[in-house]
Structure 1
Amino acid sequence: MSFQPRRVLLISATIGEGHNATARAVEEAAHEVWPGCEVVWLDALRIMGRWVPGAFNWIYVTNVESTPWLYDFFYDSLWRYRWFANASRRFVGAWCGPLLRREIRRVDPDMIVSTYPLGTAGLDWMRRHGDLDLPVSAVVSDFAPHPFWVYPEADLHYVMSEASLRAMHRAEPEAIGAVSVPPVRRDFQPRDRTEARAEFGFPEAGFTALISCGAMSFGAVERAVDAALRVEGLARVLVVCGRNEALRERLLARGEQRLVPLGWVEDMPGLMACSDVVITNAGGATALEALACGRAVLMFEPIAGHGRANAELMADAGLAELCPEGSQLTATLRRWVADPQEVGEREERALKHSRSAEFADQVAALADLPRHHGPRRLRPQDAFFVYATTPEVPQHTGAVLRLEPSPDPARVWCEHLARRIQDCAPSLPMLNRTLVTRPRRRPQWRNAGPVDPALHLSFRELGPDQDAEGLTSEFFSTPVRTDRPPWELRLLHDAATGRVTLLAKMHHSLGDGLAVANALIRLLCDGHHPASAPSASGRSWVQQAPLVLRGLLGLATSAGAPDPAWTGRSSHARSFGHVTLPAAQVRARARDQGVTSSALLIGLVAEALHRALGEQRREARFRVMVPRTARTGRDGAGTAAPGNHTQSLSVDLPVGPMPLVWRIRAVADALAEPDHSGQPEAAGAVLAGLGLLPAPVHAWIVRRIYGRRFFNAVVSVMPGQRRPAHVNGTRLSQVLPVLSLADGVGVAIGAIGWAEEFGFGITTDPGLAPDAGRLAAHLREAFDELRERR
């Protein structure tokens, strides 16, 4: 147990008392394992509307008592027609979810446990809409989990048996489940039968049957009484009528000496201890409490829908005897009265099931659950990079992480990284999802389950025949595999110097450069690395609309790439170059020039492009696509959110002859102009709007706009971090980004600030552009010249 929640939220509902009974068991366990933890309750039906609890209770009672055929029809339809089940769950989720969201924000819990299916539907809706990044679980107190009970976005469902687990997967193949012991309070446990009878004033001897059919005590209770009283040798029949006072009065009117009608009973554990057998009809809380008390269970004339399914599953698991008719109940009771050994075997089976684990320990495990997500469509901004992928131009982004020398051998490093992957990857959404693509259908993410380090981590020892540059080029030139979570790590170890380099790449649809950096930090680096939270809402759509419209007009009237330099037909070949610049000096030079550090770095890129293009391009303006993060500003998603949260600027860099300082100021002006015109907001709106189109149309448009028709290169400057980080106790000294190219575009340049340096990563297609090492050299020369001018 590693996490101690300060506040646990229970979502239940008062429709009968079964869901509340399960929630009380969770509350008791939470107080036991987390002393001082606050437990808050929400009633899902009350949240859905003041009229809802009364209406739903009336519908439930009416269906069970008067129209069981209608309840059976609805229940069977949930199983027979998956579209109907999905539509029903989505409707209820969309109803309950937004109302729950407001209450959950007010309560501010650390974890949520639901014991009511409609509440779980609302939580599923919240998770699918990105509103619930905390452990969410459901305790399914029915033996037969129906489709309304289980959801792909819940991190875990506790079900009541192995047979229940199989039923859960039939109901929702993407759901995660585990078998729980009966979720009941601790006072439901085996007690001495003689002592319990003395406490209730019952005679010590005699076979006793307890009939209990829930708080409302509906169903064939009176027929069960009739069948039980026909058994010779049955000493007494205890009947718990709950809140059904009319039933109790009818039973009292019989005047039968062996019959003991009771109203609402507070000490149900004691009453169950008095009995030899518990007769019930729904397979919910009452049956679970009987099993926990070590009592034999008889299911008689199960109520429609879930009651019938629960009874059949309990019988299949050997935990109950199913008696669909009165004659069968009478025969079974006669057999058990005559053969106490059979009853004893039933009791042993119940105790074995109930004592297989401690419920408190199972509740404690809920606080550390990794987040689970069901299948979901990619956001349009993420699907963009699926559609932009071609055989020659894979879309992955990554980084080269250089560490200071370490005395640890390669074996120690491999073992450490494998442990980090095994321990940390399950809790990082970017690292445990698989990309599913289907012809003419939208791509989806599917949860990949446990992450196998062997599938994601490789190792190379550097030596005379294995140099770092060649291994780096080979790693980043190979497309990342998509038959597993699409990310890979490679450890490069130099035994002679102790230097360690980590290469990382991820499919671009997983996230932008900032998301990749954040995921790598949280996966690899020692200590705790909190991510920035999503920011509060800023401008409304009404306020943004004029800016977006102005930007759309600008995009519509802009020309294509102004020059065909370094564009053409892409090849598989790649060259990679890197250069680092001292961060303090970069910031000082930016202050001297009156520009931002980002503008200065892109100005240096423009100078390097000028030197590589040559003096003959005297009037050339080189168009670059500049992705800019939308995570950290107003309405930002925060640094931890998976996916691509960027806005792109289309900027014409001045690459003709001019003094370096003029070029930097011209670049700063060029970067500011799109902001004034609303171009970033418009580009973001276009990317989101493309998701409204059919998948084939979306893909066709992406392939037409993301490439050489509209820009010559991709240039990105990403925010990094200044505080030092360590991997396995060794300082991470440099981070160098690696960007993917676009179709027909020969250059991609990325920069990131890390500790005391800005690191550049340059990717080129040698068939279209100069070698990346040449551009890196020009960058270094340009900065050295700027530094000497001071």
Structure 2
Amino acid sequence: MSFQPRRVLLISATIGEGHNATARAVEEAARQVWPGCEVVWLDALRTMGRWVPRAFNWIYVTNVETTPWLYDFFYDSLWRYRWFANASRRFVGAWCGPLLRREIRRIRPDLIVSTYPLGTAGLDWMRRRGELDMPVSAVVSDFAPHPFWVYPEADLHYVMSEASLRAMHRAEPDAVGAVSVPPVRSDFHPRDRAEARLGFGLPTTGFTALISCGALSFGAVERAVDAALRVDGLGRVLVVCGRNEALRERLLARGDPRLVPLGWVEDMPGLMACSDVVITNAGGATALEALACGRAVVMFEPIAGHGRANAELMADAGLAELCPREPELTARLRRWVADPQEVGEREERALKHCRSADFTEQVAALAGLTRHRGRRPLRAQDAFFVHATTPEVSQQTGAILQLEPSLESTHQWCEHLSRRIREHAPALPMLTRALVTRPGRRPQWSHETAIDPAEHLSCRELRPDHNLGEVAGEFFSTAVRTDRPPWELRLLHDPATGRATVLAKMHHALGDGLAVTSTLLRLLCDGDHPVSAAGTDGRPWRQRLPQLLRGLVGLATSAGSPSRAWTGRSTPERSFAQLSLPAATVRASARDHGVSSSALLLGLVAEALHRAMREERRGALFRVMVPRTARTGRGGAGTATPGNHTHTLSVDLPVGPMPLVWRLRAVADALAAPEHSGQPEAAGAVLAVLGLLPAPVHKWVVRRVYGHRFFSAVVSVMPGRRRPSHIGGTRLSRVLPVLSLADGVGVAIGAIGWGEECGFGVTTDPGLAPDADVLTGHLRDAFDELQERR
């Protein structure tokens, strides 16, 4: 149901009068459907700078009259080169958007309607930054919406015909549009022709042609006059010269009694009612007003660029006759003077189009628009994992959520989770993103407004012969589907014990492990779990630059893994295993040995790797990639925003023979070295720069740096949550991470502290490394040995 806006903002521009004429029609309708609402106008060009309106009008007139080839070239380039159109729109949006933002914050509207494309570009810029939570729409008065007219972040574009709607989707496939009747004021309506002529002091009989080419009256106006005056039987030619006084003087000097040159006309609806045909050259407001008055329209020598496109589209829609040259216009007028019935058929066609809907009702519908989010290119850090995906190695991250026993049945659990998805998923941006990939193009996110639980949740009751580990392994071994938002849940319920387990997997491009955990909390758990934006390093660039340069040097000098253990050609087989350790004991052991909990867990991993590789003796160092969060917000897993906000450390774990306690200290030192050298910041900067490369080059680079040439395992220690969480009133007792491998890398290990336990998840490629059970066994043994020495 639409609300009644108290304040409506119209964004137009004075470049000619067409955009303002459309805005006046919207204002009239708004005041009719929302009595008492305040309507505020903004001139987009004036907002962009005091000098801009005069400069843009001069450029427009000069291009149309003096250098039409240049305007054609620009217009054609918008259609031919997508990169050029996108770059032009981004430039204008970045120019106009910040200036509009200041005015919009001052006006505080409830509804925004733009009738000028550069204004819509600024609104799109603001929407991409998460602003403007009120409905935003555009009324495209041109019959041919070009790429500068339509934007994916607008909630709706009103266009002029079905052909216009097709052109709109060609210009911007992600834009939302609907066909509108001509957006003109209500006084543009059919009137009695003879009565209107009497009002203007014109003879009531005789065929009358009206030539009107906008407020500036440029283009082939005089050639149109010449072509019309050649027609015998044509009673008179009315010419609206608008603000072009020089043109009016020239036409008056002709002295032809059939020629009636007019200056600025206030009563254009009445003047159009006097005519049998309206001749124009741009297909903008004048053509729309003529259609609304039920008059036949001729497009003569359309101006360059959008004028020609408008004329062709109007002709294709059967709403105008296109006459590119004088002989065609003369022939058309002769035919219509001789056959008034054909003119009547044109008039009926125009009236049928204009009466297909009510413009007032269409304006009223704008207040009830739902938020539309257009496709967005992935951040470089997120696109990284799209490019890193191979047929053998899918890039997805997941978790196993184990709950305490309850009396709920499998059906009740399934119904509860389905309801949570239905109610909560649409409000979680991470779960409404669908991945759009096209060969040679940057991957994009599209927004799905409706989330069907059946597409994302499957439920399975475990029988006595089922093995939970095997069922979970089958789930995580299958790549998440990308023909919908790429995330899946599976409920496993054991009626014999009452235990429920939720398996979750998401494409790694959606977010890092912290974002996944946070989203699962908000989706499934009871209570509120607010999420704050990811923070950034607030230090000025001057302070960060030295550390960044040191990090770049460190990255360059550390290229190449010192060990080739457990690397090679990836296979599609996967082995999964999990391990839980008492979190309090882990923290106490870390304090006893003077290291952080993260260093202790990594030390246990190093010990497990040493014991598993003891027979191979592949060297004393084993390089692992350790993702570290770049988020600065507090609150742990409940405060993560979507996306991958991590830096990676390249850490050489000591896996040669040494006492376990020495290994812990060596790991702590190894972990601190890249932190102090600025390597994480440098890695983040490199990822961002890679995102500027063309998509094929970006993909090529990612495939060569994210793999066994540079490291031999992925190990992630994620911050967790100590406070207990509940799903449907049942305590969530354990969270176990499930990480994806990299191409040619045989081991990935994740750890997270949750409540009273610290959970390990181990993934291996059995063709390259030992089974996951072997590593988890060594992890357990190393931890037990550490406790015996306390």
TM-score between the two structures when normalised by the length of structure 1: 0.77
Measure the CA separation in 2 of the matches of 1:206 and 1:592. Answer: 106
Match of 1:287 in 2: 287
Match of 2:649 in 1: 648
Q: Identify if the C-alpha distance between structure 1 residues 57 and 732 changes in structure 2 by more than 3 Å, giving closer, same or farther.
A: farther
SS of 1:58's equivalent?
Answer: helix
Match of 2:740 in 1: 740
User: C-alpha offsets along residues 580-620 of structure 1, whole Å, 9 cap, x if unaligned?
Assistant: 56767766776787765544544554566567667999995
Measure the CA separation in 1 of the matches of 2:762 and 2:219. Answer: 74
Measure the CA separation in 2 of the matches of 1:736 and 1:504. Answer: 10
Match of 2:264 in 1: 263
CA contact (8 A) 1:525 1:728 kept: yes
Q: Map 1:527-538 to 2 at 5 A.
A: 531-533=531-533, 535=535, 538=538
Cα offset, 1:356, TM superposition: 8.3
Do structure 1's residue 471 and structure 2's residue 471 form an aligned pair?
Answer: yes
Cα offset, 1:283, TM superposition: 1.5
Q: Identify if the C-alpha distance between structure 1 residues 526 and 578 changes in structure 2 by more than 3 Å, giving closer, same or farther.
A: same
Q: What amino acid maps onto 1:213 in structure 2?
A: C
Cα offset, 1:349, TM superposition: 0.9
Cα offset, 1:676, TM superposition: 1.4
SS of 2:479's equivalent?
Answer: coil
Q: What amino acid maps onto 1:178 in structure 2?
A: G
Measure the CA separation in 2 of the matches of 1:738 and 1:592. Answer: 29
Cα offset, 1:627, TM superposition: 0.5
Alpha-carbon RMSD across the aligned residues, in angstroms, is 5.4
Q: Map 1:769-788 to 2 at 5 A.
A: 769-773=769-773, 775-776=775-776
Q: Identify if the C-alpha distance between structure 1 residues 711 and 323 changes in structure 2 by more than 3 Å, giving closer, same or farther.
A: closer
Match of 1:459 in 2: 458
CA contact (8 A) 1:48 1:95 kept: no
CA contact (8 A) 1:12 1:115 kept: yes
Q: What amino acid maps onto 2:552 in structure 1?
A: L
Match of 1:320 in 2: 320
Q: Identify if the C-alpha distance between structure 1 residues 347 and 572 changes in structure 2 by more than 3 Å, giving closer, same or farther.
A: closer
Q: Identify if the C-alpha distance between structure 1 residues 467 and 12 changes in structure 2 by more than 3 Å, giving closer, same or farther.
A: farther
Match of 2:56 in 1: 56
Q: What amino acid maps onto 1:748 in structure 2?
A: A
Aligned length: 770
Q: Identify if the C-alpha distance between structure 1 residues 108 and 565 changes in structure 2 by more than 3 Å, giving closer, same or farther.
A: farther
Match of 1:214 in 2: 214
SS of 1:432's equivalent?
Answer: strand
Which shifted more, 689-698 or 43-52?
Answer: 689-698
CA contact (8 A) 2:312 2:322 kept: yes
Match of 2:345 in 1: 342
Q: Map 1:426-505 to 2 at 5 A.
A: 428=430, 431-437=433-439, 444-445=443-444, 447=446, 457=456, 459-464=458-463, 466-481=466-481, 484=483, 487-494=486-493, 496=495, 501-505=501-505
Measure the CA separation in 2 of the matches of 1:185 and 1:460. Answer: 56
Cα offset, 1:218, TM superposition: 3.1
Q: What amino acid maps onto 2:99 in structure 1?
A: E
Cα offset, 1:711, TM superposition: 3.9
SS of 1:715's equivalent?
Answer: strand
CA contact (8 A) 1:386 1:395 kept: yes
Q: Identify if the C-alpha distance between structure 1 residues 714 and 258 changes in structure 2 by more than 3 Å, giving closer, same or farther.
A: closer
Cα offset, 1:5, TM superposition: 9.3
Q: What amino acid maps onto 1:432 in structure 2?
A: A
CA contact (8 A) 2:181 2:355 kept: no
Do structure 1's residue 355 and structure 2's residue 358 form an aligned pair?
Answer: yes
User: C-alpha offsets along residues 26-73 of structure 1, whole Å, 9 cap, x if unaligned?
Assistant: 667778889999987665545666544323322322343455566556
Cα offset, 1:716, TM superposition: 1.2
Q: Identify if the C-alpha distance between structure 1 residues 746 and 341 changes in structure 2 by more than 3 Å, giving closer, same or farther.
A: closer
SS of 1:628's equivalent?
Answer: strand
CA contact (8 A) 1:430 1:642 kept: no
Cα offset, 1:470, TM superposition: 1.9
Q: Map 1:140-179 to 2 at 5 A.
A: 140-150=140-150, 157-171=157-171, 174-179=173-178
Measure the CA separation in 1 of the matches of 2:504 and 2:515. Answer: 13
Q: Map 1:277-426 to 2 at 5 A.
A: 279-291=279-291, 293=292, 295-305=294-304, 306-322=306-322, 325-328=328-331, 330-331=333-334, 334=337, 342=345, 345-355=348-358, 358-364=361-367, 366-373=369-376, 381-382=381-382, 384-386=384-386, 388-402=388-402, 406=408, 408-409=411-412, 412=415, 416=419, 419=422, 423=426
Q: Identify if the C-alpha distance between structure 1 residues 187 and 357 changes in structure 2 by more than 3 Å, giving closer, same or farther.
A: closer
Q: Identify if the C-alpha distance between structure 1 residues 334 and 50 changes in structure 2 by more than 3 Å, giving closer, same or farther.
A: same
Measure the CA separation in 1 of the matches of 2:290 and 2:389. Answer: 59
Q: What amino acid maps onto 1:640 in structure 2?
A: T
Q: Map 1:602-617 to 2 at 5 A.
A: 602-603=602-603, 605-606=605-606
SS of 2:749's equivalent?
Answer: strand
User: C-alpha offsets along residues 402-456 of structure 1, whole Å, 9 cap, x if unaligned?
Assistant: 567555547746865785799568x659732223345xxx764475988885995
Cα offset, 1:178, TM superposition: 2.0
TM-score between the two structures when normalised by the length of structure 2: 0.77
SS of 2:355's equivalent?
Answer: helix
CA contact (8 A) 2:421 2:523 kept: no
Do structure 1's residue 575 and structure 2's residue 571 form an aligned pair?
Answer: no
Q: Identify if the C-alpha distance between structure 1 residues 712 and 330 changes in structure 2 by more than 3 Å, giving closer, same or farther.
A: closer
Cα offset, 1:554, TM superposition: 3.3
Q: What amino acid maps onto 1:487 in structure 2?
A: P
SS of 2:437's equivalent?
Answer: strand
Q: Identify if the C-alpha distance between structure 1 residues 69 and 705 changes in structure 2 by more than 3 Å, giving closer, same or farther.
A: closer
CA contact (8 A) 2:100 2:122 kept: no
Q: Identify if the C-alpha distance between structure 1 residues 183 and 743 changes in structure 2 by more than 3 Å, giving closer, same or farther.
A: same
Measure the CA separation in 2 of the matches of 1:212 and 1:446. Answer: 45
Measure the CA separation in 2 of the matches of 1:271 and 1:536. Answer: 62
User: C-alpha offsets along residues 262-297 of structure 1, whole Å, 9 cap, x if unaligned?
Assistant: 6252x6567667877655432112333444x45234
Measure the CA separation in 1 of the matches of 2:59 and 2:7. Answer: 34
Measure the CA separation in 2 of the matches of 1:732 and 1:29. Answer: 55
Which shifted more, 136-145 or 536-545?
Answer: 536-545
Q: What amino acid maps onto 2:264 in structure 1?
A: G
CA contact (8 A) 2:489 2:502 kept: yes
Q: Map 1:501-516 to 2 at 5 A.
A: 501-516=501-516
Cα offset, 1:630, TM superposition: 2.0
Identity %: 61
Q: Identify if the C-alpha distance between structure 1 residues 170 and 771 changes in structure 2 by more than 3 Å, giving closer, same or farther.
A: closer
Instruction: Give unmatched runs, 5+ long, in structure 2.
Output: none
CA contact (8 A) 2:567 2:746 kept: yes
SS of 1:368's equivalent?
Answer: coil
SS of 1:461's equivalent?
Answer: strand
Q: Identify if the C-alpha distance between structure 1 residues 56 and 561 changes in structure 2 by more than 3 Å, giving closer, same or farther.
A: closer
Q: Identify if the C-alpha distance between structure 1 residues 473 and 27 changes in structure 2 by more than 3 Å, giving closer, same or farther.
A: farther
CA contact (8 A) 1:535 1:633 kept: yes
Q: What amino acid maps onto 1:684 in structure 2?
A: G
CA contact (8 A) 1:18 1:285 kept: yes
CA contact (8 A) 2:213 2:240 kept: yes
Measure the CA separation in 1 of the matches of 2:316 and 2:457. Answer: 47
CA contact (8 A) 1:252 1:261 kept: no
Measure the CA separation in 2 of the matches of 1:199 and 1:659. Answer: 106
CA contact (8 A) 1:551 1:682 kept: yes
Q: What amino acid maps onto 1:20 in structure 2?
A: N
Cα offset, 1:313, TM superposition: 1.6
Q: Identify if the C-alpha distance between structure 1 residues 434 and 699 changes in structure 2 by more than 3 Å, giving closer, same or farther.
A: closer
Q: What amino acid maps onto 2:102 in structure 1?
A: R
CA contact (8 A) 2:736 2:752 kept: yes
Q: Identify if the C-alpha distance between structure 1 residues 550 and 633 changes in structure 2 by more than 3 Å, giving closer, same or farther.
A: farther
CA contact (8 A) 2:533 2:633 kept: no
User: C-alpha offsets along residues 63-84 of structure 1, whole Å, 9 cap, x if unaligned?
Assistant: 43455566556545655xx24x
Measure the CA separation in 1 of the matches of 2:584 and 2:155. Answer: 45
Measure the CA separation in 1 of the matches of 2:524 and 2:278. Answer: 55
Q: Identify if the C-alpha distance between structure 1 residues 479 and 95 changes in structure 2 by more than 3 Å, giving closer, same or farther.
A: closer
